[in-house]
Structure 1
């Protein structure tokens, strides 16, 4: 069974840093991701989803290959490739893998403009090691499907990083402060 975690970050760049770190952790076999999508909200309220895999493009590539192959059989490879690409793109656009797009857009309505929500579908993970790796990025947990104990552990870890960042003293300019 997969778990869903949604964490809000102050910027899209911060959310992208965390997503990249999660992909690195996946290479270390500490987490297995089903999907990782960043949703942003523009100042005019538009929601945009930044997906890792573009299913339309993937469908077009796959469809053009199969269309080319069928076209060769019927002595018209260009027409076959074009029809295959169009069919594959349509099929890819209609395919929704991972987290439901409508769900992500609806949940992203609640974030502030300029913020970014990282949606992560976790198939398996070593919880304590993954949380230790992402806690320093901060963020606020918006929603999880974890049990209450795991969710509270995640909330506490992210909150401690956010509190530490807020409590850090402001840097003194290079010339130092004069009295």
Structure 2
């Protein structure tokens, strides 16, 4: 089962820095992320989601490949690529993997303009090592699905960095 963790940072850049560090820790097999999205709120109140994977582009690329293959079989590869890319892009745009976009936008509406909220869907984690590594970034826990003990450990670690 995956756990949801949402941490608010003073800037989008700080949230991006933490996400990049977590991706490095993933390469070290200390954490396994299902999704990592940064949400920001502009001065006008518009919510922007900075996602790791663009499903529209991925769908278009996959669709192009299959369209080309089918087009070659039926002697019209260019039409196959075009139809495949279009259908793949539509399918990718309609696919929502990871954390629900509507949920993130709803939660991010409570942000102050300029802040960055890091939404993490954690599948597995070596808690003590990961927390030790990211605690110095600070941040404020907005929401988690962790049990109360683990959530308090996370809050305390981030609080120490904020006050230091």
Query: TM range, normalised to the smaller chain?
Result: over 0.9
Question: Which residue number corresponds to residue 15 of structure 2?
Answer: 15
Task: Give distance in 1, aligned partners of 2:130 and 2:138.
Answer: 13
Spell out, residue by residue over 1:123-142, the C-alpha distance to the aligned partner (whole angstroms, 9 max, x if none).
00010111000000000000
Correspondence list, 1:1-179, <5 A: 1-164=1-164
TM-score (norm 1): 0.91
By how many angstroms is 1:11 displaced? 0.4
Q: Which runs of 5+ in 1 are unaligned?
A: 165-179
Q: CA deviation at 1:112?
A: 0.3
**How many angstroms does 1:90 deviate by?**
0.1
The number of residue pairs the alignment matches comes to 164
In 1, the alpha carbon distance for the partners of 2:68 and 2:24 equals 36
Q: Which runs of 4+ in 1 moved over 4 A?
A: none
Q: Which has the higher contact order (CA 8 A, sep 6+)?
A: 2
Q: Deviation of residue 75 (structure 1)?
A: 0.6
CA-based RMSD: 0.4
The structural deviation recorded for 1:29 is: 0.7
Cα displacement (A) at 1:3: 0.2
**For 1:139 and 1:103, how far apart are their aligned partners in 2?**
20
1:110, distance to aligned residue in structure 2 (A): 0.6
Paired residue secondary structure (2:72): helix
Task: Give TM-score scaled by structure 2 length.
Answer: 0.99
Alignment-derived partner of residue 176 in structure 1:
none
CA-to-aligned-CA distance 1:54-78 (integer Å, 9 cap, x gap): 0000000000000010001111000
